[in-house]
Structure 1
Amino acid sequence: MSDLGLQDTLPASDLWAERVADLAHAALIDELETWPKPGLVSPVDSGSHHDMDAGTLRRSAAAIRPYFTALVAAGRRNAGMGELRAIGLRAEAAMLAATGGVNAHRGAIFSLGLICAGAGVAGPVPASAEARAEAVARLWGGAIAGAPASTDSHGGRAARRYGVGGASAEAAAGFPTIRAVGLPALRLGRVQAPEDPEAARVQCFFALLAVLDDTNLLHRGGADGLTRAREAAMAFREAGGIAAPDWRDRAVAIHRSFVVARLSPGGCADLLATTLFLDALSREV
């Protein structure tokens, strides 16, 4: 047993598991470093958050990275949802220890962790981003959909109150928002700004923000807050998105308005990281 207390951690010689974990960690860092990202933490500022900054998120990402390796190992063994959930809970404990009790990446542990497990099932074979997303639904969709709703998270409570699916429904269905919106927007952004990968990530983020029932926005701002955020994202896109000459100024203005209103689209941040991870995996093998 390793110092993580995980019997299911793969040996260092398993390059695939380590590579998948590296890509998951890199996706979290790329999400963090994307700016402007309205209401969210970046190296520029802490957005609408008073309990975390970029350093908090970096410590969290480093703490949970080994558990992504463990999830690849579990997937390779065709582990059931109970075992995957147990690894995820240990990842959450490591996150909380690294951040002093701040929930920095609970949603990302869930979404990226499932994709890691799916990569373990498939092994190092070529697969599109869409296929890897759909594999989560095929392998564990029923178990995810049948699990009791969370009662100890803001997002879970908001999902029940407002009758939206949240992160669990998205994963159970094979991440349809990422397949239909996130990945196409990321690819379009790369065409529009081939020399600016951050701009492509901003394009992806605003596309997700325009359509997602983000439970963090519902928690902080209610239905009105969600509507306001979506309308801002749609206006940004209708003005040309990152193809507009003043796109960064527009995005910064939206960011500042979110901070004033204390809006934080954490669900969109998780889906941005998940989109980046799926895209990176699709280009790896």
Structure 2
Amino acid sequence: MPELIALQPTPVVRRAAKTSERAFAGRIARLAVRSLYAELALYPKPGLVSLVDNGSHADMTAETFIRSLFTLRRFFSEITQAGMADAPFHVLKRLGIEAEARMLRATAGINTHRGAIFCLGMLCAAIGRCQASGMALTAHAVQAMLRQCWGRELGAHSVDAGACSHGAQALRRYAASGARDEGALGFPSVFHIGLPALRRTLAAGRGMREARIDALFALMAHISDTNVYHRGGADGAQTVRRQARAFVARGGSACPDWEARALACHRTFVAARLSPGGAADLLGAACLLQAATVS
């Protein structure tokens, strides 16, 4: 009986597959950068840098963020491809560290997107893994893949006591949760707070700007933001949650005077030097999932 020979993909087929993978990764990278730009451009956005003003920040402007964004598209493409190749967590972490170094060079040492590099980077990897596995790109599938492939390592990453960032310092002082804790749990605030709020507003017939405002305030009302604790301590965190919950309770962007109330909140945060940067990063992640997934 003749020996059966396993058929291997031809070089042409392999090249076509690689080209397809690079094209998919490039598309996800563009969506990630556009999502972060959408967060930057949103206004009024309490305490945060926008195209209109610098919010509570004296050390950065919209230009600083845009310089950072130019450095991140390559990273988002690389980490999507790494996810497609089922790369282990240490490879994803190395890509993130390299992206952070490029960001800091572009911004003269100012941290504009450290949280976003981690959060959106891991989501890009999970999206890439779903694509390579032939799964439908749903939000549920992306979160399940994130936990299945890198959940244990993300859990260990969240308890790295050696971190010296402002967020890590706030975590130790106030027991506030940050991006690492979000990652360890599969970014529940993105999947269960930010993204549903965004989609509810769109389903109600309001526009994308209103949807992003509602998602941001829902996140501010829900999360324990280490950025806020670092700048304002426990009192500042209480102010952020109280103001955000009041905005949501009044109906968010469905209320006729929503823009005036959001602007008043912005002025309050600026006066107190409060900046909910963690919520902003999670909003960018929710925008990416809205753009990249089908449901």
Deviations 1:57-106 (A, max 9, x none): 11111111101111012112211111111110110011011111110000
Q: Secondary structure at the match of 1:103?
A: coil
Which residues in structure 2 correspond to 1:26-175 (within 5 Å)?
26-123=34-131, 125-147=135-157, 148-149=160-161, 151-175=163-187
Distance in 1 between residues matched to 2:77 and 2:89, nearest whole Å: 16
SS of match in other structure, 1:25 = helix
Is the 2:228–2:277 contact (alpha carbons within 8 Å) kept by the matching residues of 1? Answer: yes
- Supply the distance in 1 between the matched residues of 2:63 and 2:143 (Cα, whole angstroms): 29
The aligned counterpart of 1:266 is: 277
For the residue of structure 2 that corresponds to 1:31, the secondary structure is helix
Q: What's the offset of the Cα at 1:180? A: 1.8
Q: Distance in 2 between matches of 1:55 and 1:112?
A: 21
* Separation of aligned partners in 2, 1:104 and 1:282: 26
Specify the structure having the higher radius of gyration (Cα).
2
State the TM-score, normalizing by the size of structure 1: 0.92
- Structure 2 gap segments, 5+ residues each: 1-17
Distance in 2 separating the partners of 1:218 and 1:154: 9
**What amino acid is aligned across from residue 157 of structure 1 in structure 2?**
Q
After superposition, the C-alpha distances for 1:226-258 in whole angstroms (9 at most, x for unaligned) are 011000001111122101111000000000000
| Number of positions where the alignment pairs a residue of Structure 1 with one of Structure 2 | 274
Paired position in structure 2 for 1:181: 193
What letter is aligned with 1:205?
L
How far off is 1:273 after superposition?
0.3
Amino acid in the other structure paired with 1:53: T
Report the 3-state secondary structure (helix = DSSP H, G, I; strand = E; otherwise coil) of the residue aligned with 1:41. Answer: coil
Pick aligned residue for 1:253 from 261, 264, 269: 264
What residue ranges of structure 1 are gaps of 5+ in the alignment? 1-9
The share of aligned pairs that are identical, in percent, is 45
Q: Following TM superposition, by how much is the alpha carbon of 1:12 offset from its aligned partner in structure 2, in angstroms?
A: 8.7
The answer to whether the Cα contact below 8 Å between 2:131 and 2:137 also exists between their aligned partners in 1 is no
| Structure 1 match to 2:236 | 225
1:280 aligns with 2:288: no
Report the RMSD for the aligned CA atoms in angstroms: 1.7
2:10 maps to what in 1? none
Q: TM-score of the superposition, structure 2-length normalised?
A: 0.89
Task: Report deviation, 1:139.
Answer: 1.4
Given that 1:182 and 1:207 are in contact with CA atoms closer than 8 Å, whether structure 2 keeps it comes out as yes
CA-CA distance at 1:117 after TM superposition: 1.1
Contact 1:137 1:171 in 2 (8 A): no
Conserved 8 A contact 1:193-1:200? no
Q: Which runs of 4+ in 1 moved over 3 A?
A: 10-13
Counterparts of 1:144 and 1:191, CA distance in 2: 33
Which stretch shifts more, 214-223 or 135-144? 135-144
- Secondary structure in structure 2 of the residue aligned to 1:44: coil
Q: 1:157 Cα shift?
A: 1.2
Q: Which moved more, 1:221-230 or 1:148-157?
A: 148-157
